[in-house]
C-alpha cells in the first residue's frame, strides 16, 4: 500500500433506516465515498468500493461485521499511458441479518478495490501494489472509516 496513488477523502455516511427495514432487500446504510486515483497502471481498468458496518466503535477491527456492500464497477480513464479516476462512489450496505436493528452498527469501513484487466481479477490496494508497484512517496490512503452518526 505504501506506493499506490489514490486517496479516499472523507466518507459521508447516511445511516438512516431504509423504508421497509426488516424486509430481505432493505439496505439501511448508504455511503458516498469521494475517490481520487492517479498514476495507475494501464491494466487497472475498473474500480469499486467495498464498505462494512461494524458493531464496535473501532473501524480497524473487522470482526463481526453486521453488513457488507460493494458499489458497481466504475471505469478508470486512460490518458498518457496512465489511468485515473476522480469522483464519488455510492455504496449501499444491507445487514447480513435483515432482522438486525440498524442502530447496532456503530462504525463503518470502506476500501477501494481495483480490477486488473490482464489478470481478470479484483484486488484491494495491497494486492494491486504487489502486481503494479507505484511511485514511492505517493499518497496512499486506500481505506477509511469512522463512527456512524458522529
Answer whether 74's CB lies under 8 Å from 87's CB. yes
First to last CA, the chain: 28
pLDDT computed for residue 89 by the predictor: 94
Q: Domain 6-147 class?
A: mainly beta
* CA trace torsion 76, 112, 88, 67 (10° rounding): 140
Question: Model pTM?
Answer: 0.81
Q: What would the mean pLDDT of 94-118 be, rounded to a whole number? A: 93
pLDDT computed for residue 140 by the predictor: 63
Annotate 38-83 with DSSP letters as a single string: EEE-TTEEEEEEEEEEESSS-TT--TT-SEEEEPPPEEPEEETTEE
Give the residue extent of every domain in the chain.
6-147
Q: What is the pLDDT of residues 111-129, one digit of tens each?
A: 999 999 999 999 998 898 8
Amino acid at each position: 500500500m505504501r506506493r499506490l496513488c489514490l486517496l479516499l477523502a472523507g466518507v459521508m455516511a447516511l445511516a438512516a433506516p431504509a423504508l421497509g427495514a426488516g424486509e430481505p432487500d432493505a439496505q439501511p446504510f448508504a455511503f458516498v465515498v469521494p475517490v481520487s486515483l492517479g498514476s495507475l497502471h494501464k491494466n487497472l481498468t475498473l474500480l469499486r468500493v467495498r464498505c462494512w458496518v461494524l458493531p464496535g466503535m473501532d473501524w480497524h477491527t473487522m470482526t463481526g461485521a453486521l453488513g457488507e456492500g460493494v458499489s458497481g464497477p466504475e471505469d478508470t480513464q486512460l490518458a498518457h499511458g496512465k489511468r485515473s479516476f476522480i469522483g464519488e462512489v455510492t455504496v449501499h450496505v444491507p445487514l447480513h441479518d435483515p432482522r438486525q436493528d440498524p442502530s447496532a452498527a456503530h462504525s463503518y469501513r470502506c476500501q477501494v478495490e481495483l480490477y486488473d484487466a490482464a489478470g481478470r481479477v479484483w484486488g484491494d490496494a495491497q494486492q494491486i501494489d504487489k502486481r503494479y508497484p507505484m511511485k514511492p512517496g505517493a499518497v496512499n490512503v486506500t481505506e477509511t472509516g469512522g463512527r456512524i452518526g458522529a
